[in-house]
Amino acid sequence: MKKLIIIGASGFGREVAWLVERINKQNPTWDLIGFVDDNPKIQGEIINGYPVIGDCNSLKNIQDTFVVCAVGASKMRKSIIDKICLINPNIKFATLIDPSVEMSNLVKIGKGTIICAHTIITVNIEIGSHVIINLDCTIGHDAVLRDFVTLYPSVNVSGATYIGECSELGTGMQIIQGKSIGAHSIVGAGAVVIKDIPEKCTAVGSPAKPIKFFE
């Protein structure tokens, strides 16, 4: 079995630990040795049966151990990954896919990506590195999800769509076929995207419209 550390011991980190357990029930793969988290108040605690073994700086000298970042916010996740790659340029990232995921063989998935239970991913799809696809999502043919994208639960991504780097799609939102969401944008829960969403904005509503732009 391969050693694994989860970065982030909050709610989604605990869900990822459960995902690892689900993988191991079907095919023993990962020896989950614990969490790392920069919160000093939880160092040394046992969370859902796994210890918090240090902060991100503790990854400096690890060898023969995979890590995965279970921090939902895209911008923060990218910052953490950039930091630990500087600390340890040889670090290895695990890709975790729940056993219940339905997915064709015509899907490309980058390193460090997490795909949660009951998601359906069809054909000719490109998913980048360090992407989080949460529970019960659907992704249609020819979709492209760039690095550090986050899909919260029950997001529906139709075919031939483009989701830019570090964007976040809120719970239950939908994007119709052939539309795009710009890099570093946030689409609110329950929104319906029927027109392209520009980069670096927050968009909400049905139909979704930008309400705020940021640097």
pLDDT in tens, the chain (215 residues): 999 999 999 999 999 999 999 999 999 999 999 999 999 999 999 999 999 999 999 999 898 999 999 999 999 999 999 999 999 999 999 999 999 999 999 999 999 999 999 999 999 999 999 999 999 999 999 999 999 999 999 999 999 999 999 999 999 999 999 999 999 999 999 999 999 999 999 999 999 999 999 97
**Rounded distance, CA 34 to CA 36, Å?**
7
Question: Residue 210 falls within a domain, yes or no?
Answer: no
Give catalytic status of residue 118 as yes or no: no
Q: To which H or E segment does residue 19 belong?
A: helix 11-26
CA 10 vs CA 13, 48, 79, 117: distances in Å: 5, 11, 17, 18
For the record, the structure tokens of 208 come out as 């979704």
**Rounded distance, CA 132 to CA 124, Å?**
19
**Rounded distance, CA 36 to CA 9, Å?**
7
DSSP 47: E
What per-residue confidence (pLDDT) applies to 136? 98
For the record, the structure tokens of 104 come out as 């064709």
Going through 13-170 in order, the beta strands assigned E by DSSP cover 30-36, 46-47, 50-51, 65-69, 92-93, 96-97, 102-103, 107-109, 114-115, 120-121, 125-127, 132-133, 138-139, 144-145, 150-151, 156-157, 162-163, 168-169
**Both 88 and 104 in a single domain?**
no
CA dihedral 68, 153, 162, 139 (to 10 degrees): 100
**Rounded distance, CA 142 to CA 123, Å?**
7
**Both 112 and 188 in a single domain?**
yes
Q: Under a CB-based contact definition with an 8 Å cutoff, are residues 135 and 152 in contact?
A: no
Q: Under a CB-based contact definition with an 8 Å cutoff, are residues 51 and 126 in contact?
A: no
Query: How many domains does the chain divide into?
Result: 2
**Both 74 and 143 in a single domain?**
no
What per-residue confidence (pLDDT) applies to 215? 78
Give the residue numbers spanning the domain of 165.
97-205
**Both 105 and 18 in a single domain?**
no
pTM (2 d.p.): 0.96
**Both 64 and 144 in a single domain?**
no
CA dihedral 29, 122, 129, 148 (to 10 degrees): -120
What per-residue confidence (pLDDT) applies to 61? 86
Query: Left, alpha or beta for 200 (phi > 0: left; psi -120 to 50: alpha)?
Result: left
**Both 20 and 103 in a single domain?**
no
Q: Choose the catalytic residue: 118, 130, 141, 184.
A: 141
Question: Residue 24 falls within a domain, yes or no?
Answer: yes
Q: Under a CB-based contact definition with an 8 Å cutoff, are residues 168 and 186 in contact?
A: yes
